[in-house]
């Protein structure tokens, strides 16, 4: 498949295979016409964004490209003023973060979000609260998965940064998401911790859709099969992971020169 590159001013829809789009419309997450601005600064202007069941979709781009904003809008943390979001074929644009969480849209946070006063185990229990009667994995199994079993009784405030990231992930997984939104899960992790993270992410069930915002290209390479590059809130490049990673324009974007020129080549 060829790369589709979108001009900064001309919003052409993403060229995902029509089969993927159909699957996203029936069982996944579809956002159309998203625009988000702080005062006059437009941080996100995206014609469409689709996540089909089983997708491993990475969003990359330089700082300020609108990646986290997109994730927050999908999770319901930030309300969008324009556009429509559907999930499983129903419109959820006006639904809050709590509703979306219960519906199966789970997320982790850019700054790992933990409950400082609760123990690690209790935090995971709170994450899986709505499935506590019939959990797919018990809280202890989840802690085992992310390697925090030894810390189960510790207050979350006592954890190191890397452990907090893993706890955030375990809490998100406890909610048994069908779409998992990960906001820079590898940021600030050591190599060992990143290895553990990759082990967890690649071991997730095939039906679970993952949207990954990440700067760490090794992680993107290991997890994603489709990459969307955002630049100044717009889609810059869109395509299968290998092709996009090999694209010199994307590398130029990351190195900080080229930018829009590279996009127009």
Partner 1 sequence: MSAFTHARTSDRIRLLLRRVLPWSAPVLAALGIAAVVAWPDTYLHATAARMFPLALLAVSVCVVTGHAGLPTLGQVAPYAAGAYTTAHLALHGVADAALHLLAAAAAGAMVAALVGVVLARYRGTVVLMLSLAVAELTTITASQWRTVSGGTDGLAGIPAPRLLPGLPPLLDDRAVLLYAAAVAATATAVAMRLLGGNRQLLLSAVRGNEARAAASGHRVTTYLWVVHAGAGAVAGIGGALLIHTHRWITPADVGFTSAALALLAVVIGGTASLPGAVVGAVMVLGVRDVVAVDLPGHAPLLLGALFVAAVYLLPGGLTALPARLRRSLRVLRPPANGPDTTAPHMSRRTS
* Secondary structure, 3-state, 208-252: CEEEEECCCHHHHHHHCCEEEEEECCEEEEEEEHHHHHCCHHHHH
**Whether the Cβ atoms of residue 22 and residue 201 lie closer than 8 Å to each other:** no
| Site residues (CB under 8 A) for partner 1, limited to 55-84 | 75, 77
| Binding of residue 136 to partner 1 (CB under 8 A) | no
* CB of 137 vs partner 1, minimal distance in Å: 15
* CB of 191 vs partner 1, minimal distance in Å: 23
Retrieve residue 177's tokens.
Answer: 């998401």
| Site residues (CB under 8 A) for partner 1, limited to 164-193 | 168, 171-172, 174-175
Q: In what order do the strands lie in the sheet with 82-87?
A: 41-51, 29-38, 82-87, 90-91
| Binding of residue 107 to partner 1 (CB under 8 A) | yes
| Binding of residue 94 to partner 1 (CB under 8 A) | no
| Binding of residue 28 to partner 1 (CB under 8 A) | no
| Binding of residue 140 to partner 1 (CB under 8 A) | no
**Whether the Cβ atoms of residue 64 and residue 43 lie closer than 8 Å to each other:** yes
* CB of 97 vs partner 1, minimal distance in Å: 4
**Does residue 170 sit in helix, strand or coil?**
helix
- How many Cα neighbours within 13 Å face the side chain of 222? 18
**Which of 101, 147, 233, 239 forms a contact with partner 1 (CB under 8 A)?**
101
- Report how many helices (DSSP H) and strands (DSSP E) the chain contains, helices first: 11, 11
Retrieve residue 152's tokens.
Answer: 């189960």
Nearer to partner 1, 142 or 253 (CB): 142
**Whether the Cβ atoms of residue 224 and residue 212 lie closer than 8 Å to each other:** yes
* Angle (nearest 5°) at CA 246 between 231 and 263: 35
| Binding of residue 119 to partner 1 (CB under 8 A) | yes
| Binding of residue 116 to partner 1 (CB under 8 A) | yes
| Binding of residue 158 to partner 1 (CB under 8 A) | yes
Nearer to partner 1, 59 or 171 (CB): 171
193 backbone dihedrals φ, ψ, rounded to 5°: -65, -40
Task: Tell me 72's DSSP state.
Answer: H
Stretch that binds partner 1, among 150-158, 186-194, 205-213, 222-230 (CB under 8 A): 150-158
Nearer to partner 1, 107 or 236 (CB): 107
**Which of 79, 130, 161, 264 forms a contact with partner 1 (CB under 8 A)?**
130
Q: How many CB atoms sit inside 10 A of residue 264's CB?
A: 12
Retrieve residue 58's tokens.
Answer: 């990475």
Nearer to partner 1, 177 or 239 (CB): 177
Nearer to partner 1, 26 or 129 (CB): 129
Q: Which residues of the chain form contacts with partner 1 (CB under 8 A)?
A: 75, 77, 96-99, 101-102, 106-107, 109, 113-119, 122-123, 125-130, 153-155, 158, 168, 171-172, 174-175
């Amino acid at each position: 498949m060829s790369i589709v590159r979108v001009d900064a001013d001309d919003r052409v829809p993403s060229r995902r295979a029509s089969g993927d789009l159909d699957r996203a419309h029936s069982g996944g997450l579809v956002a159309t016409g998203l625009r988000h601005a702080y005062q006059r600064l437009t941080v996100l202007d995206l014609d469409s964004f689709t996540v089909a069941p089983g997708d491993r979709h990475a969003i990359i781009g330089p700082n300020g490209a609108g990646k986290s904003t997109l994730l927050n809008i999908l999770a319901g943390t930030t309300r969008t003023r324009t556009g429509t979001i559907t999930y499983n074929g129903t419109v959820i644009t006006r639904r809050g973060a709590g509703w979306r969480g219960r519906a199966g849209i789970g997320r982790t946070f850019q700054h790992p979000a933990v409950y400082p006063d609760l123990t690690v185990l209790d935090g995971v229990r709170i994450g899986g609260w709505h499935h506590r009667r019939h959990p797919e994995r018990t809280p202890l199994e989840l802690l085992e998965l992310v390697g925090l079993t030894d810390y189960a009784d510790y207050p979350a405030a006592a954890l190191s940064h890397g452990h907090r990231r893993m706890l955030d992930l375990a809490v998100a997984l406890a909610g048994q998401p069908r779409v998992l939104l990960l906001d820079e899960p590898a940021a600030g992790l050591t190599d060992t911790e990143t290895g553990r993270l990759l082990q967890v992410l690649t071991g997730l069930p095939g039906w679970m859709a993952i949207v990954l915002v990440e700067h760490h290209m090794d992680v993107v390479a290991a997890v994603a099969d489709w990459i969307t590059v955002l630049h100044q809130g717009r889609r810059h490049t869109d395509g299968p992971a290998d092709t996009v990673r090999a694209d010199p324009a994307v590398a130029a974007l990351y190195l900080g020169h080229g930018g829009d020129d590279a996009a127009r080549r």
